[in-house]
Structure 1
Amino acid sequence: MINQLSWKVGGQQGEGIESTGEIFSIALNRLGYYLYGYRHFSSRIKGGHTNNKIRVSTTQVRSISDDLDILVAFDQETVDLNYKELHDNGIIIADAKFNPAQPEDTNATLYAVPFTEIATELGTSLMKNMVAVGATCAVLDLDINVFREVVQEIFGKKGQQVVDKNMEAVKAGFDHMKAELAENAVMHLEKADGNKRLFMIGNDAIALGALAGGCRFMAAYPITPASEIMEYLIQKLPALGGTVIQTEDEIAAATMAIGANYAGVRALTASAGPGLSLKMEAIGLSGITEQPLVIVDTQRGGPSTGLPTKQEQSDLMAMIYGTHGEIPKIVMAPSTVQEAFYDTAEAFNLAEEYQCPVIVLSDLQLSLGKQTVEPLDYSKIEIRRGKLQQDELPEIENKGYFKRYEVTEDGVSPRVIPGMKNGIHHVTGVEHDETGKPSESALNRNAQMDKRFRKIENLKFNTPVYKNAPHQEPDLLIVGFNSTRGAIEEAITRLEQDGLKVNHAHIRLIHPFPTDEMLPLVQSAKNVLVVENNATGQLANILKMNVGHANKVKNHLKYDGNPFLPHEIYTKSKELF
């Protein structure tokens, strides 16, 4: 009996690999298992190797596993590229169509199952993925009827005959594998608790958080790995009186979102690194005009087009310092799907309260990795609009202009909706006085710059650092951000079992940097290891800039396009002692 399983399906992109993983994982999620899935896919529309690795557990999991129990292969390339992940008791279930070859340097057992042949006999080779699902059921001794509801939902629109045929394919795969399977090869999963939980990617959580946070307009241009945010909102926003516009480019997307916010509508734009480069001038416009703007950046492999479908975390410096000139901005970095939901909703409050751009920083693993999520608590969501003037404004003496950029003690000026009586003012991207009129006065320039930066001096953000720090004088502090959290947590569990005292800090507010929270954690630790998916140690450098203690800080960098595995962090940590 096992309480955790790692399963991977692979083949050529475009032959149903994603749907195979979806059907398998949705069914197990509904049984109450916790899941974490990560897709490796090519930047091509069709062709090229792709795989979907899914972890199934009776307890919460937030990373892909080091090893593999079952590999389902639709071609030899899948076997060749992935078999080394299999442990000695692992199983390869391969389509007999390509005469699969058993790798010599593994003790895993290969079973050739005629996926394509069985599916063709039932009516179409397209059902070979369902045959593979049935074969997996045999290995896990699962009742195939757990998939009936999912198959009904996916294929129901095509008619009951299609549903029945797909279930026949599942049963045929089950029966064939059952007859071939060695008795001691069955992997019995412990029974799940049966509780209902969400199963979603980070991008869906970001989009849902935007809806909950009052967003009613999105302007964006499609780009991997951010497109799902736009696709989700295209489906949902119209029912709430909102809309999505696919713009001609990223520049238009950012400026449209600024315009919508200026008109009083909470608006969003989302992109990846290349798109954020195009948005930079507009982000500066948001800063100097003090218009709220929420931007999502889903990091991917760069530079330029780089590795558009692979994991990386190399946009930190760009998000903080990318704009020309200096403006206040807020950069948030959720580490789980739940945090992605709540943080995105909160981003709209911060954007309006501090009247500046707010960047929600994600990465490909968090945005596209699919994981089990406990039910979301909508009562935690509140709408705060800061100093937006919604009551009638008093008349201004001598029919003057409204002081939209009034120099205030907290740095936040009163804000009005265009067209409000007695609220007339200028809005321009050049430096301006309190009413918005262009001004090149040195005194005015200092006053406006100082005012803008005062806004974020006392920024209030709930949980700027996720801390698991039970030790007063730890041997090691591991620091990360975004999707590395799950792998770090698992590595720490193993390190603690070895007798090491390890604390964990996951930074959720990148800018302004939470120095007060991080300084005592760094000071108390003998060693500090910063884990990040980039080549230059950007988070480590930001940590050194704001906290010091550079002699303690060590890097663990990975920039090959793949996410961290728990054993990699464990091994690197052990090297420090």
Structure 2
Amino acid sequence: MISQLSWKIGGQQGEGVESTDRIFSTALNRLGYYLYGYRHFSSRIKGGHTNNKIRISTKPIRAISDDLDILVAFDQESIDLNAKELRLGGVIVADAKFNPTVPEGIEARLFAVPITKMAEELGTSLMKNMVASGASWALLGLPIEVFNKAVEEEFGRKGAAIVEKNIEAVKRGAEFVLEQAGGPLDEFKLDEADGQQKLFMIGNEAIGLGSIAAGCRLMAAYPITPASEIMEYLIKKLSKFGGTVVQTEDEIAAVTMAIGANYAGVRTMTASAGPGLSLMMEAIGLAGMTETPLVIVNTQRGGPSTGLPTKQEQSDLNAMVYGTHGEIPKIVIAPASIEDCFFDTIESFNLAEEYQVPVILMTDLQLSLGKQSCEPFDYDKIVIKRGKLVENVPELEGHDLFKRYELTEDGVSPRVLPGEKGGLHHVTGVEHDETGRPSENATNRLNMMDKRLNKLNDMYIRDAIRIDAPHETPEQLIIGMGSTGGTIDEARSMLAKDGIATNHITIRQIHPFPTKLLLPYLQSAKKVIVIENNATGQLAAQIKMNAGFAEKIESLLKYDGNPFLPSDIYKACKELSLDGNVQRV
């Protein structure tokens, strides 16, 4: 019996790879296994190689695995591209239609199953994904009833006849491969899971759910990979809570609509990726100048320009911190898990209103679209904070205006909603005085700039840095952000076996940078290695600029569109030179 296993399915885009993965993982989730999935897909609607990889475990996991146990292939290309991941003794379940062959040098057991033929015998080749699923499920020796239940849920809306045909497809695939293999494979039999069904979702869904829990009732957005699922999730859910989603003509319209709605008092968000964020920059400056709360989700992908829209990257950090013209206060938060995506979204809405600033929630494609198990969210932790939102404004004398931008000790001014009696004030994107009237007075300019910029002094979110530091003076301090955390932890376990002592910090508050919190750990480490999916070491540059220790810091960079594997980090940390050179995977 084994405690974990990796399964992958590959084929052409539009060939049923995604639905196969969905049903397969849903059934495993029902049994109580922990899962971590990653999609490698083309930026085309149909055609181009795509694969989905699922890691299955009896214990919590937060990274894709280096190796592979079972590969399900709809074409030879899937075998040629992915067979190198198969561990010694791994299995390939392939469609006999294309006469599959195992590449030279790969020691794997091949099961050629007439997947397409069986599906066509049942009426349509579309059911070949169910034949393939049944074949690979059977090799694991797991109860077929659980899988059939997942099939019913997937196809139930299409009627009983369709459900029965798909279940028959599963059965035929299972029976064929079991006859070839002589029964389930002992080496792939998983230990029993705890039986407790986990939440199983992508980061974008957790963000969508978090926005609802935060009281968001309007989303204005334009579709873009890999952010679209947030909008798609809220289209289905938000109306049930009295809210709505508006698909705007572009990202400029989306962000300005969000600013207007937030000014009116409705918690509103928008979500995009790098190209869309670029279009929003002028409006983000408007939110900063008018001190209007604003929440933006930026799901990073490969750039620049259209770049690699369906591939992993973490290269928007500088754009989020520095992108706007002029100088405004803003907050940039980087969740590192599915649970973070949920709770950090709620925190983003609170921070936006407490400090009256734009808040950017920074994710990456792996975290946004990788489907993962997590424990049910503790809703008792949810707190809604609306900051200095004033009601029952005292009567003003004569033609006096409300001091919407009043100079206060903490830099945060009282805020009123439109229509509040006594709350009349100007709102403008030009520099203004305490009532919002335009002003070019030099003293006023200094006061207003200082007021805005100082409001975030010593501001720290919950777990601004997430620390695992068992060693007082580690040989290496490994620092990452976003989706790299689980991968770093697995690499550290491998390094520990080699006697290399490491500490690990995930930086979750990107801006304002948590310098004071990070300093003690930088001081105690002999070497600092910063892991990030970009070509220029943007996170490392932030650390050097804000905290120093440039002589200790080395970068491990990966920017080929793929996420880090545990072995990438393990090998690099073990072999990294001491001359300070930037390394890349």
TM-score normalised by L of structure 1: 0.99
2:544 alignment partner in structure 1: 544
Provide the secondary structure at the position in 2 that maps to 1:479: strand
In structure 2, give the amino acid aligned to 1:422: G
> 1:481-560, aligned counterparts within 5 Å?
481-560=481-560
Q: CA deviation at 1:117?
A: 0.6
Does the Cα contact within 8 Å between 2:23 and 2:151 map onto a contact in 1?
A: yes
Does the Cα contact within 8 Å between 2:140 and 2:184 map onto a contact in 1?
A: no
What is the CA–CA distance in structure 2 between the aligned matches of 1:81 and 1:223, rounded to whole Å? 27
RMSD: 1.0
1:301 alignment partner in structure 2: 302
Stretches (4+) displaced over 2 A: 182-186
In structure 2, give the amino acid aligned to 1:413: S
> 1:158-557, aligned counterparts within 5 Å?
158-181=158-181, 185-186=185-186, 187-390=188-391, 392-557=392-557
Provide the secondary structure at the position in 2 that maps to 1:386: coil
Provide the secondary structure at the position in 1 that maps to 2:398: helix
What is the CA–CA distance in structure 2 between the aligned matches of 1:485 and 1:331, rounded to whole Å? 18
1:17 alignment partner in structure 2: 17
In structure 2, give the amino acid aligned to 1:142: L
Q: CA deviation at 1:185?
A: 4.3
**Percent of pairs identical after alignment?**
67
Task: Identify unmatched segments of 5+ residues in structure 1.
Answer: none
Task: Identify unmatched segments of 5+ residues in structure 2.
Answer: 578-585
What is the CA–CA distance in structure 1 between the aligned matches of 2:474 and 2:460, rounded to whole Å? 28
What is the CA–CA distance in structure 2 between the aligned matches of 1:460 and 1:393, rounded to whole Å? 31
Q: Deviations over 1:243-302 (max 9, x none)?
A: 111001100100000000000000000000000000000000000000000000000000
What is the CA–CA distance in structure 2 between the aligned matches of 1:111 and 1:226, rounded to whole Å? 38
In structure 2, give the amino acid aligned to 1:459: M
Q: Deviations over 1:332-377 (max 9, x none)?
A: 0000011010000110000000000000000000000000010001
In structure 2, give the amino acid aligned to 1:569: I
Does the Cα contact within 8 Å between 2:138 and 2:184 map onto a contact in 1?
A: no
Provide the secondary structure at the position in 2 that maps to 1:572: helix
Does the Cα contact within 8 Å between 2:460 and 2:514 map onto a contact in 1?
A: no
Aligned residues: 576
Q: CA deviation at 1:397?
A: 2.4
Provide the secondary structure at the position in 2 that maps to 1:353: helix
Decide which moves more: 417-426 or 457-466. Answer: 457-466
TM-score normalised by L of structure 2: 0.97
In structure 1, give the amino acid aligned to 2:95: D
Q: CA deviation at 1:184?
A: 8.7
Q: CA deviation at 1:517?
A: 1.2
In structure 1, give the amino acid aligned to 2:311: K
What is the CA–CA distance in structure 2 between the aligned matches of 1:141 and 1:184, rounded to whole Å? 5
Does the Cα contact within 8 Å between 2:348 and 2:359 map onto a contact in 1?
A: yes
Q: CA deviation at 1:182?
A: 5.4
In structure 2, give the amino acid aligned to 1:380: K
Q: Deviations over 1:210-246 (max 9, x none)?
A: 0001101110000000000011111111111111110
Provide the secondary structure at the position in 2 that maps to 1:326: coil
In structure 1, give the amino acid aligned to 2:347: E
What is the CA–CA distance in structure 1 between the aligned matches of 2:525 and 2:489, rounded to whole Å? 17
> 1:31-110, aligned counterparts within 5 Å?
31-110=31-110
In structure 2, give the amino acid aligned to 1:354: Y
In structure 2, give the amino acid aligned to 1:365: Q
Does the Cα contact within 8 Å between 2:274 and 2:303 map onto a contact in 1?
A: yes
Q: Deviations over 1:101-138 (max 9, x none)?
A: 22111111111101011111122211111111111122
Q: Deviations over 1:185-210 (max 9, x none)?
A: 44111111101211000000001000
What is the CA–CA distance in structure 2 between the aligned matches of 1:209 and 1:94, rounded to whole Å? 40
2:561 alignment partner in structure 1: 561
Provide the secondary structure at the position in 2 that maps to 1:27: helix
Provide the secondary structure at the position in 1 that maps to 2:93: strand
Does the Cα contact within 8 Å between 2:43 and 2:309 map onto a contact in 1?
A: yes
Q: CA deviation at 1:496?
A: 1.2
Structure 1 position 120 matched with structure 2 position 124 = no
What is the CA–CA distance in structure 1 between the aligned matches of 2:130 and 2:221, rounded to whole Å? 36
What is the CA–CA distance in structure 2 between the aligned matches of 1:458 and 1:389, rounded to whole Å? 25
Q: CA deviation at 1:460?
A: 3.8
Does the Cα contact within 8 Å between 2:151 and 2:166 map onto a contact in 1?
A: yes
Provide the secondary structure at the position in 1 that maps to 2:506: strand
Q: CA deviation at 1:399?
A: 2.5
Decide which moves more: 122-131 or 61-70. Answer: 122-131
What is the CA–CA distance in structure 2 between the aligned matches of 1:367 and 1:137, rounded to whole Å? 27
Provide the secondary structure at the position in 1 that maps to 2:445: helix
In structure 1, give the amino acid aligned to 2:112: A
